[in-house]
Structure 1
Amino acid sequence: MSMLMTTTPTVEGRPVRQYLGVVTSEAVMGTNLFSDFFASVRDIVGGRSGSYEQILRDAKSEAMAELAEQAGQLGADAIVGISLSHQVIGGDKKTMLVVLASGTAVRLG
């Protein structure tokens, strides 16, 4: 059975039967010089940075998978109240992207 994951505090029609605790995960992804260079060009001329967008998508996927794994180890069938955030670390070089995820592992009725 797959893990039901939602940003809402409840699941319509499925009452929370048991709260199992908060689960958290972090995904830290390095960028490379090539991505950084083209992102700098995009800063000047405008537009989207596809390479950074892909790195953020990958980091989000990893963070969500880890969240589901932790909740599964607690016996949960869902995670409610998921919150996602991201940060760039590395000073002016902006070489690392971090995605943070948290939520509440629950068993639904």
Structure 2
Amino acid sequence: MDIILTNTSTLPGREVVKHLGLVQGNTVRTKHLGRDIAAGFKNLVGGELRGYTELLGEAREECTARMLTEAKNLGANAVINIRYGTSSVANGASELFVYGTAVIVD
């Protein structure tokens, strides 16, 4: 079953028929020594830190998948009002989290 994901509170042309509650997902990631060394060199010359871009992309996919699992377990066919956030949890470790409202739409 495909679940509709949106950061808006409504879906145009669809009606929310049941509110199932908050769903969320998170992951905590640490920096990688090789990526840190490459980032140090990039700080000297400037440019994108591709290692960190990849790390954050992987983390976003993982926490989104965890949120989707929660939504599926509740029987949702959509998650609305999705938000992402990040926080530092330890020296060199960050949490990426996502949350939204699981609903059933017609």
One fold, TM greater than 0.5?
yes
Distance 1:38 1:87 in 2: 23
Residues 17-53 of structure 1 deviation map (CA, whole Å, 9 limit, x = unaligned):
0110011111112221010111122223211010000
1:105 aligns with 2:102: yes
RMSD after superposition: 1.3
Confirm or deny: 8 A CA contact 1:56 1:97 kept in the other structure: no
Deviation at 1:86, TM superposition (A): 2.1
TM-score when normalising by structure 1: 0.89
Segments of structure 2 that go 5 or more residues without pairing to the other structure are none
Counterpart of 2:46 in structure 1 is 46
Distance 2:23 2:40 in 1: 35
Distance 1:6 1:85 in 2: 16
- Report the count of equivalent residues: 106
Name segments (4+ residues, structure 1) moved above 6 Å.
none
Deviation at 1:82, TM superposition (A): 0.3
Counterpart of 2:29 in structure 1 is 29
